[in-house]
Structure 1
Amino acid sequence: MPGHKATGFCASALALALCAVLAGCAGTGESAGGGKVVLRYTWWGNPDRAARTDQALALFEKRHPGIRVQTSFSDYNAYKQKLAVQATGGDAPDVMQLDYRQIDQYASGGVLLDLARQKAVLHTSEIDSGLLATGRVDNTQYAIPQGRGTETVVYDVKAWKDSGVPLPKQGWTWDDWADDMRALAKATGRPGGTDPGWSEDVFEVWLRGQGKSLYTTDRRLGFTADDLAGYWTFTKGLQREGAVSPAEQNTQLDGSVENTPLGRGKAVADTNWDAPTSGYLALVPTGIALAPMPSGADGTPGQYYKPSMFLGIGAHTAHAEAAAELVDFLINDEDAARILGATRGIPVNETIRRRTAPLLKDFDRTIADYQASVEGTLNDPPQAPPPGDNALQTTFQRDYDQVSFDRMSPGKAAQDYITEAKAELRS
């Protein structure tokens, strides 16, 4: 869904401020009987994440007997909609899980607390400075990364090995990747990988490998129509050769692993963020493996460690210190990290990450080992995308569909995208 624009949240923040002045609103927190503080903590996830979260929160409440935590969770799309309604209505939770693309949106709208106010309680010294900076807007820390992930080329191990094509390795370039997709298609009779032309995320990796960026620090486009046309010319050329998935398969892409060509047995490889690739285990019974994303022609890496999610505190919470204690616990407590595992990504606290990595099992360990393999080779992540990026992801896919189905040239589609993107970012 297209993201709500910051202007709407600014209006709701003003309404909330007037409410507080004129009607004496108390904020989002409550006090329970016996003097306990009640915090509302909302997040997205699945039943496994819910079970682990409940266990971790039971430990938090045991250590903080004066605080009780009320939780609610749902799947990602439902969560986004619910949180937007709460924020617009001035009813944001005390502690909330946030996506990378929500930080600027909610910070600019006055929904999130400036976390510098709670620096005595909320400690960030064990978090990589570049990763921590992704939660800042205009040099103010509004959110803390809770886990980290990075993009990967995930592939069917048996199919790739049986093809005779050498396995991917650190330092390969986009030209190397393209050659491998062609060779895999020739050897297996199916596309080597998913067509990456539809993915804004992959395009960002491509751009960064050329020393460019998706957005500038002042929230404008960091690339030109020629840059995008070059990318789409590259991907469409591979599609014509049969090296990557055809247009008809791309229309089935919906963000789930089940509907990718790899997940449906129609390609050998895919690109994705590392955490969701665990979903391929049930779809590719012969096994999967993770490889780094291709780099630029000169070896410049395009991929980066991205916060898998953030924690933020509601700007109008009545219990800011208690909320900060909860955030600090979820990020910096080793016992909490052991309970949560990699359900929210690999821990961002560097000491905890080193101590808990050997304890991870199964695919959690695969992801940790993959991240360790690229440690020290990646550049700092970009700042959080501007509010209009949610809508532009949809625009990106729509415009590439025109290229994919031969309805429009890469150059014309790229120009159309640039025109709409500039208008969206100005709104």
Structure 2
Amino acid sequence: MRTMIITAALFAATSLSTAFAADLRMSWWGSDDRHLATQEALKICGGKFGHTIAPEFTGWTGHQEKVATQLAGGTEADILQINWPWLPLFTKNGTGFADLYQYKDIIDLGQWTKADLDSGTVKGKLNGIPVSTTGRVFMFNKTTYDKAGVPIPKTWDELIAAAPKMKEKLGKDYYPFEGAALDARLVVILRTTQKTGKDLIDPATNQVAWTEEELVEGLEFYQTLVDKGVIESWKQVAAAGNTPLHENQKWARGQIAGTYQWDSTYGKISTPMEKGQELVPVKLLTIDGAKTDGVYRKPSMLFAISKNSKDPKAAAQIVNCLLNDPEAAKVMGASRGIPSSKAALDILTKEGKIKPVQLEAYKQVMEPTSPGVSPLNEHPRVTEAFDSNFEAFAYGQQSAEDAAAEIIAGINEALTGI
């Protein structure tokens, strides 16, 4: 019924579109499959409303800088694909993009949850609509675990206990998990969030929510994973060239048997695995007395409309079509992840466009509890303050106490005034 209503609304709007046919631009980043799908969907949506939309697409590298330059000069596209952590950079006070609440008569905002809309809202203004929601999920190589005679872990303690059993059965070069750099940081954030019930950054103060003692425990937990042979050390990973997981032969062969990754990367990291390997997404590992599941859940990206657009209503029609129209949804598929729009998700599910294992990974993202994640967690100055000191600790150049103090001080200084 919802799909029929949306289709009818789009048809009615189409009949009125000839009064203000517009020439629009849309910019995004992505891979070839996303480029092709988006261009086809733009033709569909443009045809429904009589608008022409010029596509402007690139790869990920350099796209943020391109958008920043365009915004500074007022030359940005009418419709923009925006990375969620860019909101504090580009629209600090909610005035960097158009307020999409002003176009709620055009965009069917009822297809998103309040939490979805809140994630794209800055100072009460809806600056972007989540295209999809992503989060970090535990994925384990069931084949390797079965060969080792070890059950897939459900707790951190079970993960640690798996290491000696796996090495004894399969060899010393087998690891039940992996984690360095970003992956290691997010493991520390997850476990500390579970322990404290607080995200890294307090949204009320834009400062670190944890005490030094709480962060010290998180860093020491990472070191425990290294010392117990659960993961390769940061130094080992760097010495091997910091190879991305999907290009890592140890991962492909099953010698590394677990990871904590974005649910949307399931296909990317499972495809290179050798024949016969089975990768399964599972619930978040837990600790006794956890105050929250601590899921790291966020919009993978947003669609925004330029505040300088000469035809914002036409742009709103195209945004609504891309995200909610059944025909456009089938063309877009899961090229940007599993859609946040209920209408798009319904049609893709009915059409069998989403694999069951992808839906299972998505379920593991959407069901757990979380105190909420601040986009400032991924602010460049925040990640630099965290990673530089975390790396020094991982290399034995700083104590956990010194690293925690430096991380907190560095992040708080970086966020002062933001």
TM-score (normalised: structure 2): 0.85
Aligned position for 1:235: 222
Cα gap change, 1:230/1:281 in structure 2, threshold over 3 Å: closer, same or farther?
same
1:238 Cα offset (Å): 1.7
Matched, 1:404 2:394: yes
1:42 Cα offset (Å): 0.8
Q: Structure 2: which amino acid aligns with 1:289?
A: V
- Is 1:160–1:268's contact at 8 Å kept on the other side of the alignment? yes
Distance 1:373 1:224 in 2: 29
Matched, 1:105 2:89: yes
Q: Where has structure 1 moved over 6 Å in runs of 4 or more? A: none
Matched, 1:212 2:204: no
- Secondary structure of the corresponding residue to residue 203 of structure 1: helix
Q: Counterparts of 1:207-286 in structure 2 under 5 Å?
A: 207-210=192-195, 211-218=197-204, 219-251=206-238, 252-253=241-242, 257-258=246-247, 262=251, 266-285=255-274, 286=277
- Secondary structure of the corresponding residue to residue 43 of structure 2: helix
Cα gap change, 1:374/1:80 in structure 2, threshold over 3 Å: closer, same or farther?
closer
Cα gap change, 1:296/1:354 in structure 2, threshold over 3 Å: closer, same or farther?
farther
Aligned position for 1:191: 175
State the Cα deviation string for residues 372-426 of structure 1 (Å, max 9, x = none). 356544346434327x722221332221211111111111111111111111001
Q: Structure 1: which amino acid aligns with 2:284?
A: M
- Is 1:153–1:269's contact at 8 Å kept on the other side of the alignment? yes
State which drifts further: 282-291 or 189-198.
189-198
Where does structure 1 lack aligned partners over 5 or more consecutive residues? 1-33
1:131 Cα offset (Å): 2.1
Aligned position for 2:318: 326
Aligned position for 1:125: 110
- Secondary structure of the corresponding residue to residue 391 of structure 1: helix
Q: Counterparts of 1:55-134 in structure 2 under 5 Å?
A: 55-65=40-50, 67-108=51-92, 110-134=95-119
Matched, 1:426 2:411: no
Q: Structure 1: which amino acid aligns with 2:25?
A: R
Distance 1:124 1:420 in 2: 38
State the Cα deviation string for residues 273-323 of structure 1 (Å, max 9, x = none). 011232123321223221222234235311154211111111111111111
State the aligned residue count: 388
RMSD: 2.6
1:351 Cα offset (Å): 3.9
Cα gap change, 1:167/1:101 in structure 2, threshold over 3 Å: closer, same or farther?
same
State which drifts further: 92-101 or 106-115.
106-115
Distance 2:25 2:135 in 1: 30
Aligned position for 1:371: 362
- Is 1:146–1:311's contact at 8 Å kept on the other side of the alignment? yes
TM-score (normalised: structure 1): 0.83
Q: Structure 1: which amino acid aligns with 2:82?
A: L
Distance 2:345 2:314 in 1: 25
1:81 Cα offset (Å): 1.9
Aligned position for 1:159: 144
- Secondary structure of the corresponding residue to residue 69 of structure 1: strand
1:192 Cα offset (Å): 1.7
2:155 is aligned, of 173, 180, 191, to: 173
Distance 2:332 2:97 in 1: 25
1:257 Cα offset (Å): 3.5
Aligned position for 2:16: none
- Secondary structure of the corresponding residue to residue 315 of structure 1: coil
Aligned position for 1:292: 283
Where does structure 2 lack aligned partners over 5 or more consecutive residues? 1-18
State the Cα deviation string for residues 240-273 of structure 1 (Å, max 9, x = none). 2221112234434476633596358652111110
- Is 1:149–1:307's contact at 8 Å kept on the other side of the alignment? yes
